[in-house]
Amino acid sequence: MSSATAVRAGRPGFVWVAPALTFFGLFALLPMVVVVYLSFTAYDGLNPPQWVGLENWTRLGADPLFIETLRLSFLLTAASWVLQTAVALPLGVWLARRGRSRALLAAIFFIPLLMSSAAIAVLWGTLLDPNFGLASVLGPLVGIDDGNIIGDSRYAFAAVILVIGWQYMPFHTLLYQAAARAIPVQLYEAARIDGAGRWRTFRSITVPQLRDTIITSGVLIVVGSMTTFEVVLILTGGGPGTSTRILPLHMYLEGFRSFDMGYASALAVVLLVIGTALSLFIARVTGYRKMASQREGM
């Protein structure tokens, strides 16, 4: 044990992290190893897994649904990032300033954060009901006369992105609110003395100061969107047709409806690799790991 170095640095020894490491090993690493193993087997949960070599992996290339679901997952990720950041950042900054009306609005706005994903999906499913829900009222206003939003492959995916956005925007707003409050007031005072306007201060002070938060929030959105699942399962079940079948849902249906656990495991490994690669990529490209202070002159 390297407790000597740890003690010298004045930090707790290895033993302190042992419980966390054990849990991580048992409930994260071990399942990952098992899933990689299963991806090389044919397994229906009933008969013992049978080694089939690369069969599941070559099947990936021949499965048109795999390409389609992968494309949809990337699309969902990109759209979620743009939409959620575009709304959450300005809103968070606005909410960061004190004021009774802002506090009240913030409290209302954060309500989606308190609801479970399943509840949100059921709620929106009811609202988007074409005959008895809000869709029958709002649909005609946007040119969808029969209220058929989640039942039309042209609109269903957009509806899913909006519902997921509605669910997670409050969380990211909260991140931005906290980060914006941490920006030293002196920076703004100095800028005002220099004659900078509101837009200029936002662009030259607020956004650069929020850099780390933008990246953190971005990583969370990217990884979250790649693995998002329950809202889509309950809201559209992947339909109509396969127009909202994203990769995690495809994995679930293959594993737990078709009982094709081997192939589902291969899909799970793909998800794992993509999710990890994406978050590492974001961290690298943005220089996040350096975590340099942006408070110049402070």
Partner 1 sequence: MSTSSRVRRTLVAAALATGLAVTAACGTAGPQEAGGGDELRLWTLQNEGINTVQQAAVDGFNAEGGPQIELTTYLNDPYKSALQTAIGSPNGPDIFYNWGGGNLKGYVDAGQVADLTAALDADPEVKETFIPQVLETGTIDGKVTGIPMQGVQPLSFFYNKDAFAEAGVTEFPTTWTGFLEAVDQLKAAGIQPIALAGAQTWTSMMYPEYFLDRIGGPEKFQAIADGEPGAWRDPAVIESMRMVQDLVDREAFGTNFTAVDYDNQASQALLTSGRAGMELMGSWQVTSLNDNFPDFLEQDKLGWAPFPAIEGGAGDPANVIGNPSNYYSVSAGSANVEAATEFLMNGMTSPEYVQGMLEKGQVPALTGIEDQVASTGPFADFNTYTYEQTKAAPTFVQSWDQALPAAEAQTMLTNLSKVFTKEFTPEQFADAMDTASR
Which residues are at the interface with partner 1 (CB under 8 A)? Answer: 44-47, 116-119, 121-122, 125-126, 128-132, 135, 146-153, 229-230, 233-234, 236-242, 253-254, 256-260
Write down the least CB distance from residue 123 to partner 1, Å.
Answer: 11
| Helix, coil or strand: residue 39 | coil
Write down the least CB distance from residue 245 to partner 1, Å.
Answer: 8
Q: Give residues with Cβ within 8 angstroms of 261, minimum separation 6.
A: 38, 43, 44, 45, 49, 255
DSSP lists the bridge partners of residue 41 as 51
Write down the least CB distance from residue 154 to partner 1, Å.
Answer: 11
- Helices within the chain (DSSP H only): 3-8, 18-24, 30-38, 55-62, 64-96, 100-109, 111-114, 117-127, 135-138, 156-181, 185-193, 198-201, 207-209, 211-226, 230-235, 247-252, 261-285
**Rounded to whole angstroms, what are the CA distances from 43 to 55, 142, 261?**
12, 47, 5
CA distance linking residue 165 with residue 175, whole number of Å: 15
Write down the least CB distance from residue 144 to partner 1, Å.
Answer: 9
Write down the least CB distance from residue 243 to partner 1, Å.
Answer: 8
**What's the CA dihedral at 46, 257, 75, 265 to 10 degrees?**
0
Q: Which is nearer to partner 1, 58 or 294 (CB)?
A: 58
Write down the least CB distance from residue 54 to partner 1, Å.
Answer: 19
Q: Which is nearer to partner 1, 210 or 253 (CB)?
A: 253
Q: Which is nearer to partner 1, 92 or 255 (CB)?
A: 255
Q: Which is nearer to partner 1, 89 or 164 (CB)?
A: 164
Q: Which is nearer to partner 1, 21 or 119 (CB)?
A: 119
Q: Which is nearer to partner 1, 117 or 206 (CB)?
A: 117
